[in-house]
A = this chain, B = another copy of it.
Amino acid sequence: MSEKAITVYDIAREAGVSPATVSRVLTNNARVSEEKRVRIEEIIKKYDFEPNGLARSLSKQETKTIGMMVPDIRNPYFSNIFIECEMVASQYGYNMILCNTMNDLSSELSHLKNLCEKHVDAIIQVGGNADEIRPDEEYVKLINKTAKKMPVVVGGEFPGAECYKVYTEKEHGMKELINYLLSCGHKKVNLVGGRNTVIPTVRKRESLKNCLKLHNLELADELIIDCKYDIDGGYAAMKQLLSSHNLPEVIIAVNDQVAMGILKACQEMKIKIPADISLVAYDDTSFSEIATPQLTSVNYNLKMHSEKMMKTIIDIISGSETEKVKSVDTYLTIRESCQNILV
């Protein structure tokens, strides 16, 4: 594809200095006489020389690359996190390798091994096994082994993983949500979506029960409905809900996608949101704004979540102390999908 690339040796020869001196002006971390520095810089410019990053990485034992694993970057939740992380990364001179596991365990395993072999400077994982109540044992072992070699930070509770964690605290947002719903005159709530093997879902369910209890309200188990985390899941769940029960009063969807599915089902059934049913979502991704009506949604504070994860990495790499476990609060974004039935 190309002629021989030019190296520090070539530059050194032409400048009449040693490769070490060239390296010194390249890394800029040792004094070089003004005269030689200028001479070397000119030759570098002349040939448009760029040092081989691979060789540098091998020598310095750092790649300036961070690996990130997510289930599916098409999900706005993950692409938002990625963007925020990448921004911080760029700031510190890092690139991101992005791996999509598509919720496939073997893919998760192989990507992790791969990032390891590539000697990325750190690994971030969001979703997948990091959110499982009972993560795959082999995977946990691999994470722990990896975490001994490099900074690993996960965006979830990840039971059993001995690495840095930044998880989302659901309590605050849920409290805001319940207060808001009560202030709108609602008392009966359905929680739609997810399954009991996924931590964020479990936390939402627990947290909802707790918050209701504070107001002496109960959440009957049959008001909690499992479904897949996507639009189809929400659609199917809602169809079922509409056929077998009398009309729900308020529905909390486990994420924006499920809410979109619920919305779709309602439209088909000529049910008006929020006039007939109030709807609240979780995630507050771009979907919340796109939807009609715009969704009231619990915001995950992804910017802060991402920044905390990246900050953790930067801290570890720079040798600063940093807490093993951090959390990020959620909060409520009120839009149009709930009705005040008191007025």
Contacts and interface: CB of A to CB of B under 8 A. Distances in A.
Interface string A90-122: 100001111110000001000001111111000
B119 A52 contact: yes
A180 interface: no
Given A73-B73, A95-B99, A1 B150 contact: yes
Contacts of A322: none
B63 A54 contact: yes
A267 interface: yes
Contacts of A58: 52, 54-55, 58
A95 B83 contact: no
A118 B76 CA distance: 28
Interface residues of A, number: 55
A51 interface: yes
Interface stretch (A17-25, A125-133, A165-173, A284-292): A284-292
Highest count of chain B CB atoms <10 Å: which of A1, A53, A264 = A53
A91 B116 CA distance: 18
Secondary structure at the A interface, as helix, strand, loop or mixed, is helix
Interface in A1-58: 1-2, 5, 48, 50-55, 57-58
Interface in A53-70: 53-55, 57-58, 63, 65
A331 interface: no
A79 interface: yes
Contacts of A158: none
B1 A151 contact: yes
Contacts of A107: 90
18 contacts: A1-B148, A1-B151, A48-B145, A50-B113, A52-B119, A53-B117, A53-B119, A54-B58, A72-B83, A74-B76, A74-B79, A74-B286, A82-B98, A86-B99, A95-B97, A260-B290, A264-B290, A264-B292
Interface of A: 1-2, 5, 48, 50-55, 57-58, 63, 65, 72-74, 76, 79-80, 82-83, 86, 90, 95-100, 107, 113-119, 145, 148-151, 231, 260, 263-264, 267, 286-287, 289-292, 316
The 5 A-B residue pairs with the shortest CB-CB distance in the complex, in nearest-first order: A53-B117, A98-B98, A74-B79, A2-B149, A53-B118
